[in-house]
């Protein structure tokens, strides 16, 4: 597969192709969840750009950035079955941050105020800065993002609309490991016993979905916190149920409504997130 380190070289090659282009932005440490995005993108476009870039401005803790798993060789091996249809874009900082590694400032209103936005100040400015740069550098017809980062997805949709970038933002289903744990590059940081124990996150969410029409929001949160923090080394960062459109957490659940459950859990030092749709009849 062709590998590009600069947007200049990539754009020059794209001009020669004259094909419909899809973009799959990643931070590497690829897994089956990423592969599902690439598969869908390959079905819907003539050419797919997979970007790999660990974006420093979306990390709040330097240790988290330094420990983020990186293995370009493994990533390329995983992408090899798609090699005839994809370009790999692996830029250096200077290519995406020509004026220094500093994020722009955006106002996404309530979309960035809660959950990840509250727990990780400035995180979504970093995300939006790099996604804007990637979209402008690659000019795709479509860009593919996973449902696991639903809050991020809504912010990217808003970014695309406000900046009139004209990209179709495609939401792809959340992919889970066999034990139900949401696939994430951060799962690689967990020792085997914690990775298995972390299945409690989704198992607890499944119980909450089963009780969607009988439990109050308080009962749901109390159950989740009790299940998670009953395990050694596990701690709940947040549990929130919000409207999918504005991402404002609600205080009580109303009938005939569709909500999103958002959770973040520390497993030791590793922070994991998950989300499910909740329908209240």
Q: How confident is the model at residue 61 (pLDDT cuts 50, 70, 90)?
A: confident
Mean pLDDT to the nearest integer, 194-212: 98
pLDDT tens-digit series, residues 228-270:
999 999 999 999 999 999 999 999 999 999 999 999 999 999 9
pLDDT tens-digit series, residues 69-96:
999 999 999 999 999 999 999 999 999 9
Whether residue 34 lies in the annotated active site: yes
**Percent of all residues in the chain with a pLDDT value above 70, rounded to a whole number:** 100
What's the CA gap between 45 and 186, in Å, rounded? Answer: 29
The pTM for the full model equals 0.95
pLDDT value of residue 37: 98
Q: How confident is the model at residue 185 (pLDDT cuts 50, 70, 90)?
A: very high
pLDDT value of residue 62: 86
Q: How confident is the model at residue 218 (pLDDT cuts 50, 70, 90)?
A: very high
pLDDT tens-digit series, residues 105-156:
999 999 999 999 999 999 999 999 999 999 999 999 999 999 999 999 999 9
> Does domain 185-280 match CATH 3.30.1300.10?
yes
From 34, 123, 164, 193, active-site residue = 34
pLDDT value of residue 106: 98
The domains spanning 2-172 and 185-280 adopt the same CATH topology: no
Q: Name the average pLDDT for the chain.
A: 96
Q: Where do the domains of the chain lie?
A: 2-172, 185-280
Q: Please answer whether residues 195 and 187 qualify as being in contact, where contact means their C-beta atoms are separated by less than 8 angstroms.
A: yes
The domain covering 2-172 belongs, at the CATH homologous superfamily level, to HUPs (3.40.50.620)
pLDDT value of residue 116: 97
């Amino acid at each position: 597969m062709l590998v590009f380190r600069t947007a200049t070289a990539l754009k020059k090659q794209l001009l020669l192709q004259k094909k419909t282009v899809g973009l799959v932005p990643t931070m590497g440490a690829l897994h089956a969840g990423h592969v599902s995005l690439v598969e869908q993108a390959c079905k819907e476009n003539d050419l797919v750009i997979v970007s790999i870039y660990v974006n420093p401005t979306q990390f709040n803790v330097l240790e988290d950035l330094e420990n983020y798993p990186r293995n370009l060789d493994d990533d390329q091996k995983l992408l090899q079955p798609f090699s005839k249809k994809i370009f790999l874009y692996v830029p250096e900082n200077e290519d995406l941050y020509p004026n220094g590694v500093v994020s722009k400032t955006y106002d996404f209103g309530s979309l960035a105020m809660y959950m990840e936005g509250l727990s990780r100040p400035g995180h979504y400015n970093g995300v939006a800065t790099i996604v804007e740069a990637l979209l402008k550098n690659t000019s795709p017809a479509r860009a593919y993002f996973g449902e696991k980062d639903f809050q991020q997805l809504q912010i990217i949709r808003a970014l695309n609309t406000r900046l009139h970038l004209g990209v179709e933002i495609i939401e792809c289903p959340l992919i889970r490991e066999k034990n139900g744990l949401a696939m994430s590059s951060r799962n690689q940081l967990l020792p085997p016993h914690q990775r298995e124990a972390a299945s409690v996150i989704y198992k607890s969410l499944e119980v909450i979905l089963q009780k969607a029409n009988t439990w109050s929001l308080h009962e749901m949160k109390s159950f989740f916190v009790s299940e998670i923090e009953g395990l050694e080394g596990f701690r709940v960062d947040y549990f929130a149920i919000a409207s999918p459109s504005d991402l404002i957490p609600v205080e009580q659940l109303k009938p005939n409504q569709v909500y999103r459950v958002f959770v973040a859990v520390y497993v030791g030092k590793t922070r994991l997130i998950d989300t499910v749709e909740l329908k209240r009849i």
